[in-house]
Structures are given as C-alpha cells and as structure tokens.
Amino acid sequence: MKKVSLNWVDALWRAVRAVSGDDAYERYAAHERSHHPEREPMDRRTFYVTEQQRRFSGPTRCC
C-alpha cells in the first residue's frame, strides 16, 4: 500500500515537539551516536535531570 501523504501533519508534529523540547533526548542521543560513538550516552532520566539543572543555571525568563 502506498503511504498516504501526511507530510504537513508530520512536519507540524515534529515542530511542536521541537519547540516544546519534547524531542530533546532523541536529538541528544542522535548527536552522541554520530559524534561520540565511543562513549555511552546518558539514559533518558539522567539526561532530563542534568539538562534541567543546566538550563536553569542562567537567566531563562524575563520580566
């Protein structure tokens, strides 16, 4: 069966995930695989916790 063209739905979904940070772990894991295949990437939970710690170590919000 030929795949139904849902390109724009797919694109929208990916954009929503990217804007909200939902796909942060996947992006990190992809980066680790391609750039540092020799080392073990962090698991989801460790990544999430350390990433939040880093994000909020500087000004993230304005008045």
Partner 1 sequence: MKQPGKVLLWVAIAVLGASALGGIALNRGESINAAWFVVAAICVYLVAYRFYAGWIAARVLTLDATRATPAERLNNGRDFMPTNRWIVFGHHFAAIAGAGPLVGPTLAAQFGYLPGTLWLLVGAVLGGCVQDMLVMYCSVRRDGRSLGQMARDELGHIGGTAALIATLAICIILIAVLGLVVVKAMTHSAWSSFTVFATIPIALLVGVYLRSIRPGCVLEASLLGVGLLILSVAAGGWVHSTPGWREAFDLDGRTLAGFVIAYGFIAAVLPVWLLLAPRDYLSTFVKLGTVALLAVAIGLLSPEVKMPALTRFIDGTGPIFAGELFPFLFITLACGAISGFHALVSSGTTPKLLARETDAPMIGYGSMALESFVGVMALIAACVLDPGVYFAINSAAGIVGADPQTAAATISGWGFPVTAEQMQVLAHQMGEQTLFARTGGAPSLAVGMASIFGSAFGSGLLAMWYHFAIMFEAIFILTTLDAGTRVARFIMQDVLGAIWKPLGECSWYPSVLLSSLLVVAAWGYFLYIGVIDPNGGINILWPLFGIANQLLAAIALTVVTAILVRSGRLRYAWISAAPLAWLVIVTTTAALQKIFSADPKTGFFAAAGDLAAKLAAGALSPDRAAVAPQLIFNQRLDGWLTALFLVLVWIIVLDMVRVCYRHLRGRRAPMDTEAAYVRTQLA
Long-range CB contacts (< 8 A, 24+ apart) of 42-47? none
- Residue placing its CB nearer to partner 1 in the complex, 6 or 31: 31
Subset of 8-47 contacting partner 1 (CB under 8 A): 15-22, 24-25, 27-28, 30-32, 35, 44-45, 47
Per CB under 8 A, does 63 bind partner 1?
Answer: yes
Q: Among candidates 18, 41, 22, 16, which has minimal Cα distance to 30?
A: 41
Owner of token pair 């139904």: 4
The residue type found at 13 is W
Name the site residues for partner 1 (rule: CB under 8 A): 15-22, 24-25, 27-28, 30-32, 35, 44-45, 47-49, 51-63
